[in-house]
Structure 1
Amino acid sequence: MPFSSNSMGFDSFGFGSAIRSLWGLEPQAIFLNHGSYGAAPKRVLQAQSAWRERLEAQPVRFMGEELPQALRRAAAELAHFVGAEPENLVFVENATSGVNAVLRSLSFQPGDEIAFANQGYGAVQQTIRWVCGRTGSLPVEAQIPFPIAGPEQVIAAFEAILSPQTRLAILDHITSPTALIYPLPELISLCRERGIPVLVDGAHAPGILPLKLENLGADWYTGNAHKWLFAPKGCAFLWVAPHQQAQTHPTVISHGYGQGFTAEFDWVGTRDPSAWLAISAALQFIQELGVERIRQHNHTLMKQARQLLLDRLQEIPPVPEDMLGFMATLPLPPVWQQWMPEQLLSIRARQLHDYLWHTHHIEVPIIPFGGQLWVRISAQLYNYLAEYEQLALALERLPDGFAV
């Protein structure tokens, strides 16, 4: 059912608490962590359930006759949204799966180098280490500072590590721990000048940034739809440039092997495709609310919330505002910044996270990075500024037992 001012009251009340009921979030939760797993609206989950019922009504007919066309239609809709040709885009379960598909498809020799950044996602870094351990290739990590003065420091960090032995560069579009938007076009150009193929981990970018994947210049791009595109969990995509498709395979080889890029990825055995097929409902949800209206609301709220927390915690901005989207990573109060071993840092992060949730019903990630603890806030349509005020109060009033 399309949204209207009469039925949903968007024109009268705007976003924030007025539309919170469109999600199934716990009523008492102050949910400031859309960035980790997303949160699908009820109507998108209903669409997913409808696809499941259709599947179970006649599984053989659905899998054999209905699914191939339905999956390609859904892929075409998503491709249009991210500026891609449908034949170059396939579904995967998450961005980590997309990275694995690429890394495990490529051939590396002893001494080859895989370039990536210290702010990359942990699961991606683990995959790189696994591949290097099996092939004798070398992981080479760009040391990008945080706090950071500007995008030129990202470019300089990669310039310092790219070499004639670099066989692949893995670039984040938006980083997970630090929420930075990298200068991706400049980084891709840097790699292109050196003849280095590029895999982009765009886990957070779809929905936050307008994408034109066909014009980006990357070889591979993987992104999640379950975060900022409101799709159900398990909905992500892998875009592959035509010249790289013959050597790119899913991590599970099945009946589609040798039948072409989309055929290989579209069928890797029996699985539930409902999250992928529900992307149509998720994109409709976005279009009815307005893509630019959503982006403007979320980015503005993030800036307001970030400034509120910085002022209350008496901290300086760790990153320029124009390098942020819908998330921001901020330093915790000074009492938390004493150095400690990495293992203890992770334990303390979990302790603080659990305290904020169990005591204040605030869901927000506490991130150990660079020898200290950070809090990463997200801004989504159901959020409003008073929620970040509650987070500021909770951080200001930490019990003495939390002091390092």
Structure 2
Amino acid sequence: MIRSFVEDFAFDPAVVQLNHASFGAPTRAALTWHDAVRRAAEADTSTSLGTGLQDDLRRVGAVVAGLIGADPADVAIVTASTEASGALSTSLPLGAGDVVVLTDGEYESVIRAWQVRAEAVGATVLRLPLPVPATSAAVTDLFTALPARTRYVVLSSITSSTALRMPVAAVARLAADAGAALVVDAAHSVGHEPLDVSTLGAAAVYGSLHKWLPVPRPLGFLWVDRALVDVVRPAAVALHLDEPLLQRFGWRGTWDPAPVRGLERALDEWRTWDDGGRLDAAAALADRADQLLTDLGWVPTGEPAMRPARLRGFVVPAPLPVLREALAAAGVRLWTGTVPDGRTAVRLATHVYTEDADLHRLAATARSLPTPLTSPTDRRRGEHFAPS
């Protein structure tokens, strides 16, 4: 019998956790070690937050570079994807008349960061309508006629709210053909699906590390093409703004480096799960969730090829307030919101602690929702993306 991993995490046992993709889920062991590292740092802050921190940043920066197929000289450690996105949107060259293109399915803070920069310099942000349910071909087609003076295309490797694995390579080729640079939001990649920045054709890639690795939050990375290493700066002006990339982001004011120091331990724990088949088992549970929820009328947000290993999105035939009330009453936690056109949506994430009973409680909650009247078009949407 495979043991339960639930007790390895600090969860409320009464709650079904299907939303670690929003904030991460460190293990009890990681939290204990994190607290010990923080206490130890207080014994000599001059070293632990000074020269000692720089040594740790260089070591961990090299580890992160190895994870993403990068040269350590091109990698910075950041708190999370939002910090990296802010750094890129404020420091990459952008002028009056330039265009930044992204879909309306990108993370809202990313969209807003580029809008603020564009407003300041007289550029334009073009939001392309993401089709949901999506196919790779339909998403790629959005980028086939980029407007003149497109400077940047911003695209997630895996979208956040809609949980779609995006056709990054195909979009990269179209961006290059238009003379534009590709910026990739890889917040949901490391620890979840393979990421090799050298193969993407991107100018910059960033992501969070605390979402899919068992490291206490916050922790993330930023990679930039060698040509941009001297261009990209933190959004906050700090003491070592003109140092090499790693130090530039490592000296951004006083901050808690304990998550950085815990990354290697988190990777050891993650590899134990991987070697033991636990991550594959979690992916199989995500496939079972597809079957259970599709049978109940929930529509997957994308075709099978676009569904990430352990992250799945659905359009739900119920009003959002009704859905949220039912989930809260059932003690089920998953992301809820809307797809860009306003329809109710959910996103669930499976992990090493997820069990069949969790999915059955979610399915029971889905069955309790009032059944809406559906049009033939709505029914066809569901039939088009039956589980593979």
Which letter does structure 1 place at the counterpart of 2:36?
A: A
Moved more, 289-298 or 26-35: 289-298
TM-score (norm 1): 0.87
* C-alpha contact (below 8 Å) 2:234/2:241 kept by paired residues: no
* C-alpha contact (below 8 Å) 1:257/1:264 kept by paired residues: yes
SS of the residue 2:366 aligns to: helix
1:24 aligns with 2:10: yes
Match of 2:117 in 1: 131
Give RMSD over aligned pairs.
2.0
Once the two structures are superposed, what CA deviation does each residue of 1:130-176 show, in whole Å capped at 9, x if it has no partner?
A: 1122111101112220012x21111101123x123101111111011
* C-alpha contact (below 8 Å) 1:328/1:376 kept by paired residues: yes
Match of 1:13 in 2: 2
Q: Tell me the CA shift for residue 355 of structure 1.
A: 3.8
Match of 2:379 in 1: none
Which letter does structure 2 place at the counterpart of 1:108?
A: L
Q: Distance in 2 between matches of 1:298 and 1:201?
A: 24
Match of 1:391 in 2: 362
Structure 2 runs not aligned, ≥5 long: 374-388
Match of 1:3 in 2: none
Q: Tell me the CA shift for residue 23 of structure 1.
A: 0.5
1:367 is aligned, of 329, 337, 341, to 337
Match of 1:46 in 2: 32
1:85 aligns with 2:53: no
Q: Residues 192, 307 of structure 1: CA spacing in aligned structure 2 closer, same or farther, 3 A cutoff? A: same
Q: Tell me the CA shift for residue 101 of structure 1.
A: 0.3
Q: Distance in 2 between matches of 1:121 and 1:167?
A: 19
Match of 1:4 in 2: none
Q: Tell me the CA shift for residue 350 of structure 1.
A: 5.1
* C-alpha contact (below 8 Å) 1:353/1:364 kept by paired residues: no
**After the TM superposition, which residues 333-344 of structure 1 pair with which residues of structure 2 at under 5 Å, given as runs?**
333=317, 336=318
Match of 2:172 in 1: 188
Structure 1 runs not aligned, ≥5 long: 1-11, 337-347
2:286 is aligned, of 290, 297, 302, to 302
Q: Tell me the CA shift for residue 211 of structure 1.
A: 1.3
Match of 1:376 in 2: 347
Q: Distance in 2 between matches of 1:122 and 1:350?
A: 21
Q: Distance in 2 between matches of 1:206 and 1:332?
A: 28
* C-alpha contact (below 8 Å) 1:309/1:388 kept by paired residues: no
Match of 1:320 in 2: 303
Once the two structures are superposed, what CA deviation does each residue of 1:313-342 show, in whole Å capped at 9, x if it has no partner?
A: 135544222211111111223xx2xxxxxx
Q: Distance in 2 between matches of 1:157 and 1:211?
A: 23
Q: Residues 57, 231 of structure 1: CA spacing in aligned structure 2 closer, same or farther, 3 A cutoff? A: same
Match of 2:221 in 1: 237
Match of 2:143 in 1: 158
2:182 is aligned, of 168, 184, 198, to 198
Q: Residues 52, 93 of structure 1: CA spacing in aligned structure 2 closer, same or farther, 3 A cutoff? A: same
Match of 1:75 in 2: 61
Percent of aligned positions that are identical? 27
Q: Tell me the CA shift for residue 86 of structure 1.
A: 1.8
Match of 2:378 in 1: none
* C-alpha contact (below 8 Å) 1:85/1:214 kept by paired residues: no
Match of 1:222 in 2: 206
1:61 aligns with 2:47: yes
* C-alpha contact (below 8 Å) 1:315/1:331 kept by paired residues: yes
Match of 1:356 in 2: 327
* C-alpha contact (below 8 Å) 2:164/2:301 kept by paired residues: no
TM-score (norm 2): 0.91
Query: What is the count of residue pairs matched by the alignment?
Result: 372
* C-alpha contact (below 8 Å) 2:73/2:246 kept by paired residues: yes
* C-alpha contact (below 8 Å) 1:353/1:365 kept by paired residues: no
* C-alpha contact (below 8 Å) 1:43/1:281 kept by paired residues: no
Which letter does structure 2 place at the counterpart of 1:273?
A: P
SS of the residue 1:57 aligns to: coil
* C-alpha contact (below 8 Å) 2:21/2:211 kept by paired residues: yes
Q: Residues 257, 315 of structure 1: CA spacing in aligned structure 2 closer, same or farther, 3 A cutoff? A: closer
Q: Distance in 1 between matches of 2:350 and 2:234?
A: 33
Which letter does structure 1 place at the counterpart of 2:297?
A: Q
Which letter does structure 1 place at the counterpart of 2:338?
A: P
SS of the residue 1:181 aligns to: coil
Q: Tell me the CA shift for residue 250 of structure 1.
A: 0.8
Which letter does structure 1 place at the counterpart of 2:302?
A: V
Once the two structures are superposed, what CA deviation does each residue of 1:185-231 show, in whole Å capped at 9, x if it has no partner?
A: 11112212222111101111111211112232211101111111222
